[in-house]
Structure 1
Amino acid sequence: MSVLLLVFAGLLLLAVLLSSLANRTILSTAALFLVAGFLLGDGALGVVSLAPNDEIVATLAELALFAVLFTDGMRVGWKDLRTAWRLPGRALGWGLPLTLVVTALGAHYLVGLGWMESLLIGAILAPTDPVFAAALVGNEKVPPRLRQLLNVESGVNDGLALPFVMLFLAVAAGSESLHLGELGLELGLGIVIGVAVPWVAIKLERTRWFSASTAYEPLNALAIGLLVLALGKATHGNLFLAAFCAGITVATFGERQRESFEHFGELIAELFKLAALLVFGALISLPLLGSVGWRGWLFAIVALVLARPLAIWISFLGSGLNVREQAAVAWFGPKGFASVVYGLIVLASGIAAAQEVFQLVAVTIVVSILLHSSTDIVVARWFDDEQEVPAWYGVARRLRERVRKERGAS
């Protein structure tokens, strides 16, 4: 534990020192933690020794996903969803399930997994990660509708994929209808906790008896999140669905609470994400990557290059997006943090195909991080006016106009 903490602290300091460079180049802090975990894990140097059944793995995955879903939910209050639903609705209502289905077909026919395990992999790999689209979203020359689409989609799809992951995992574990009923109760209880706790807390603060000071304002949403986490643990409600619903509830009813917590919350979520990537990398080894065979690597390519682009193309037929915009949305469907944690949850679940599912998920995420983190700057520059119209093009056009005028004068 102490070694893991030391390694994480050192990598975090290095990431901070390199963060400005990473914003201008293809360098990615996410890739840094993943690669460092791989090199320092048992598969290479053996500095960080972890096993899938270690308590730290499950605990970190749980806390990290809770924090990320809570902050994701805060990005998309009901008002945001209602005013900006047209294009994100296509990506989430059609693109997400189509990506799930195409990915599942690849897992079944290319690798030979059973249908339930294939659907589980599809649900795990369906969400996208906004980290690798940061250069695109941050480029003011990118059309606002495209930036809004990527923001809303990446903020919502982690939570939307969660029930499918839980359902397919329960069925793959051999659950009977009674257990599925318990799963439904768990999900429903998570929704109730996630909506009720923040709503009551926000209403209490608006009474004449309570008021948060400026210094404690950022802790308001943190206290709500911790209370949701504790109640979910105590009642066995689904923590992740509770976190996502709590974030949406705060964003909907407590705009001030959301604004005061936004920067603080993003930092907390980022810490957990980087720690989970380090642990995920430490669980990957060369034998694991090699054991998937050429079919597993082919599946990873299909999941990244075919599943998402095909789903987006179908989803955005007649949407008004031009070819360049559709291509950008289709390519930026990277498999990131949510897929990492879902993969860790499956690995610790004990289902018969847990190791095989984790291997395929791990290979796909590794390829995705390497490909998407090295192409975000390139794709973002598609929308740069100077890149779109090179300088020589303007000079050549002026020369042609001058020649045309001279010929007309003669």
Structure 2
Amino acid sequence: MDGFYIAILIGTALVLLAAFSSLLAYRFGAPLLFLFLMIGVLAGVDGLGIEFSNNSLAYMLGSVALAIILFDSGFGTSLHSLRIAAAPALTLALLGVVLTAGLFALAAMVFLRFTFLQGMLLGSIVASTDAAAVFFLLRIGGINIRERVRSTLEVESGSNDPMAIFLTMAMVSVLSASSSEDIGLSMLLLFIEEMGIGLALGLAGGMMIVTVINRFAKDRGLAPIFVLALALLVFSFTGAVGGSGFLAVYVAGIFAGNKRIQSAASIRRFQDGLTWLAQIIMFLVLGLLATPSQFPAIILPALALAFFLIFVARPLAVWLCLLPFDFTQQENSFIAWVGLRGAVSILLAILPILGGLENGQIYFNTVFIIVLVSLLLQGWTIKPVARRLGLIIPPRMGAIDKLELDLPGAANHELLSYRVIKDSPVMRGERIPRWAVPSLVIRDGRSMRYQYAGRLRENDQVYMFVAPTYTHLLDRLFASRAPVDADDAEFFGAFSISASRPARELDSAYGPGLLYDSEKDVTIAELVSMRLGTRPEYADRVRLGSIILIVRDFDEQEHVKSVGISLEPLEPATSLPIFINLREIAHRLRDYLRRKRRKVREAIHPAVGPASEPAGAGEENDR
């Protein structure tokens, strides 16, 4: 019993130390998950002397923690984010993982003298981005970027773990087996089986969670326990029948998080705390497994592989996967940079040891060093890189102090509580819309009906009922003024115009030739939607010849209200011909061919130069 109490004491102390380290991370911008990992390392065998070498237990604890993190990641992913980012994110999660692993395998053959299959195993281990690291840095790190880019990174980080886990397990099986016949076909069949079962059972599990919570979880305190238990049931049952439990629990989270569910606010608060605990435990346990005294023997090739992954393998895989999608060079560069490796890679590095492979410890030590470099280099520089690439967009509104309160049963309204903030529109006298029903105001500790409260004052707490689809409109009323930095003032261009004006005015002012004939009879808002191919989001950009239209504001119906016009083209992220999409490649090829044709015409007819050609003749000949 003394040993039991001491183990609990040490474990609790480490968790508390990791939790308090978040204060340091927020103050100095340090990568928080790196601190968690280093606390485990410093407490380990080469630090304080805590000896922990149970790889099987570490893998089981890490798998459960990862299942909890993936469920919460899915639970917090809206259908809107999934809809605008599904195609590029899933391409990165499937094809991107394979490309990264294959490119990395070639480097492992050079630096570690591995065979291609051994390099492919190492590449599979480090091929996926870490969901915990990406979600933390994007959601909590204060990085405000375009919605489609953020959603792509979040959905990719949540969905590429099952692919990396499948590849790693398959490669361990291949390297453990004596026969290598029909490897490709057997892996393809296994992939279809695991992912198909995982997707099907994930959807079924999400339906089960919603049904059980809405019918049986009458006690608000039991609802989060039901959700946790059912999520782990989906994970474990799917794995037991041969499917991907990690994919299933992520899909179940997406389904349940986008349905009307009782006690949703309580579940989200519980999930937030539980996910933090899962991250801390997973990073601490994996840090305890490390033996830094073994690192010097492998440090140089591991560092070379880390830099190859960060600067070559990940960027090339991202560029090839995102070629068909309309991301700018700056956005592709940022997506390539936000390829953080974390606890998932270290967790998968345990599998070669458990599989009894030769050089199993080399896999683990190499991956551990790669993860440390990634968390330090990429984790510490994400915000400066985003600012350098011009991707941080001005906030639409400032701080909001809002609390969502649970209503019993399947109510079709939400009860929200807002604190009136200084400089908010409602503080300045703007009226609350009719579709919101204010019921109570708490002022200086006293409650009163809204009708008798008079004009709202700073720090008033207002309670009101509202339909869920309108909550974002109320947020604008109760938000403080958004701070505008000097750099942000230039983000939307030289000036703004109304999006309801006809698009032909742009062609007259900055053309001709900016628009196709079918675009001249639409409004600027409709033109932006047509060029984007989807519903415009805040800060979306559309290039029209020498000008750029930037979505600036929306009306109450979420239609584009105004756009900014930038007369200065964006500087390329790099002078190298990478990270450009197919449309940009086509434009550059067209311009190149036009210049070649013009030079040929001038060589054939030297007396007929550009100055003597009638207006539009060159363009007509180009056509």
The CA deviation at 1:302 is 0.7
Instruction: Give, as a single letter, the amino acid of the residue that structure 1 aligns with 2:349.
Output: G
- 2:367 aligned with 1:361, yes or no? yes
- 2:301 aligned with 1:295, yes or no? yes
Instruction: Give, as a single letter, the amino acid of the residue that structure 1 aligns with 2:296.
Output: G
Q: Specify whether residues 161 and 73 from structure 1 end up closer, same or farther in structure 2 by C-alpha distance, changes over 3 A only.
A: farther
Larger Rg: 2
Q: Give 1:65-214 correspondences, 5 Å limit.
A: 65-76=66-77, 80-133=81-134, 134-137=136-139, 139=142, 141-174=144-177, 193-203=201-211, 210=216, 212-214=218-220
Q: Specify whether residues 226 and 144 from structure 1 end up closer, same or farther in structure 2 by C-alpha distance, changes over 3 A only.
A: closer
Q: Distance in 2 between matches of 1:318 and 1:189?
A: 29
The CA deviation at 1:357 is 1.5
Q: CA RMSD in A?
A: 3.5
The CA deviation at 1:388 is 4.0
The aligned residue for residue 376 of structure 2 is: 370
The aligned residue for residue 35 of structure 1 is: 38
Instruction: Give, as a single letter, the amino acid of the residue that structure 1 aligns with 2:116.
Output: W
Q: Distance in 1 between matches of 2:121 and 2:263?
A: 36
Q: Specify whether residues 108 and 86 from structure 1 end up closer, same or farther in structure 2 by C-alpha distance, changes over 3 A only.
A: same
- Aligned match for 2:224, one of 215, 218, 221: 218
Which stretch shows the higher mean deviation, 177-186 or 261-270? 177-186
The CA deviation at 1:237 is 5.8
- Aligned match for 1:276, one of 267, 276, 282: 282
Q: Give 1:198-347 correspondences, 5 Å limit.
A: 198-203=206-211, 210=216, 212-229=218-235, 231=237, 239-251=245-257, 260-317=266-323, 319-347=325-353
Q: Distance in 2 between matches of 1:24 and 1:149?
A: 28
- Aligned match for 1:12, one of 6, 9, 15: 15
Q: Distance in 2 between matches of 1:73 and 1:286?
A: 35
Q: Distance in 2 between matches of 1:309 and 1:387?
A: 31
- 2:56 aligned with 1:50, yes or no? no
The CA deviation at 1:364 is 0.5
Instruction: Give the number of aligned pairs.
Output: 387
Which stretch shows the higher mean deviation, 319-328 or 352-361? 319-328
Q: Distance in 2 between matches of 1:201 and 1:313?
A: 38
Q: CA offsets, 1:166-214, max 9 Å, x none?
A: 211211221768997889877766555544344345345566xx45333
The CA deviation at 1:318 is 5.9
Q: Specify whether residues 306 and 237 from structure 1 end up closer, same or farther in structure 2 by C-alpha distance, changes over 3 A only.
A: closer
CA contact (8 A) 1:162 1:241 kept: no
Report percent identity of matched pairs.
28
Highest RCO, 1 vs 2 (Cα 8 Å, sep ≥ 6)? 1
Instruction: Give, as a single letter, the amino acid of the residue that structure 2 aligns with 1:212.
Output: K
- Structure 1: 5+ residue stretches without partners: 392-410
CA contact (8 A) 2:38 2:287 kept: yes
Larger strand percent: 2
The CA deviation at 1:20 is 4.4
Instruction: Give, as a single letter, the amino acid of the residue that structure 2 aligns with 1:244.
Output: Y
Q: Specify whether residues 129 and 216 from structure 1 end up closer, same or farther in structure 2 by C-alpha distance, changes over 3 A only.
A: same
The CA deviation at 1:140 is 6.2
Q: Distance in 1 between matches of 2:217 and 2:286?
A: 42
Q: Specify whether residues 87 and 128 from structure 1 end up closer, same or farther in structure 2 by C-alpha distance, changes over 3 A only.
A: same
Q: Specify whether residues 219 and 324 from structure 1 end up closer, same or farther in structure 2 by C-alpha distance, changes over 3 A only.
A: same
CA contact (8 A) 2:130 2:343 kept: yes
Q: Distance in 2 between matches of 1:111 and 1:197?
A: 43
Q: Specify whether residues 183 and 7 from structure 1 end up closer, same or farther in structure 2 by C-alpha distance, changes over 3 A only.
A: farther
The CA deviation at 1:330 is 1.2
CA contact (8 A) 1:88 1:153 kept: yes
Q: Distance in 1 between matches of 2:138 and 2:190?
A: 42
Q: Distance in 2 between matches of 1:234 and 1:279?
A: 25
Q: Specify whether residues 308 and 254 from structure 1 end up closer, same or farther in structure 2 by C-alpha distance, changes over 3 A only.
A: farther
Instruction: Give, as a single letter, the amino acid of the residue that structure 1 aligns with 2:105.
Output: A
The CA deviation at 1:333 is 0.2
Q: CA offsets, 1:113-139, max 9 Å, x none?
A: 122221122222111124444444554
Q: CA offsets, 1:216-274, max 9 Å, x none?
A: 22233212123335545765765434433433443466666876533322332332222
Q: Specify whether residues 3 and 240 from structure 1 end up closer, same or farther in structure 2 by C-alpha distance, changes over 3 A only.
A: farther
Q: Distance in 1 between matches of 2:79 and 2:150?
A: 19
Q: What secondary structure does 1:61 align onto?
A: helix
CA contact (8 A) 2:158 2:250 kept: no
Q: CA offsets, 1:332-379, max 9 Å, x none?
A: 101012112111233323222322221221111111122123223423
- Aligned match for 2:25, one of 6, 11, 22: 22
Q: Distance in 2 between matches of 1:289 and 1:165?
A: 23
CA contact (8 A) 1:75 1:155 kept: no
Q: Distance in 1 between matches of 2:319 and 2:106?
A: 18
Which stretch shows the higher mean deviation, 249-258 or 259-268? 249-258
Q: Distance in 2 between matches of 1:148 and 1:24?
A: 27
Q: Distance in 2 between matches of 1:309 and 1:162?
A: 21
Instruction: Give, as a single letter, the amino acid of the residue that structure 2 aligns with 1:199.
Output: M
Which stretch shows the higher mean deviation, 99-108 or 74-83? 74-83
Q: Distance in 1 between matches of 2:84 and 2:263?
A: 21
Q: Distance in 1 between matches of 2:106 and 2:350?
A: 22
Q: CA offsets, 1:267-302, max 9 Å, x none?
A: 323322222211222222233211215223211211
CA contact (8 A) 1:76 1:155 kept: no
Q: What secondary structure does 1:84 align onto?
A: helix
Q: What secondary structure does 2:114 align onto?
A: coil
Q: What secondary structure does 2:350 align onto?
A: helix
Q: Distance in 1 between matches of 2:355 and 2:486?
A: 49
The aligned residue for residue 408 of structure 1 is: none
Q: What secondary structure does 2:145 align onto?
A: coil
Instruction: Give, as a single letter, the amino acid of the residue that structure 2 aligns with 1:344.
Output: I
- Structure 2: 5+ residue stretches without partners: 395-484, 491-623
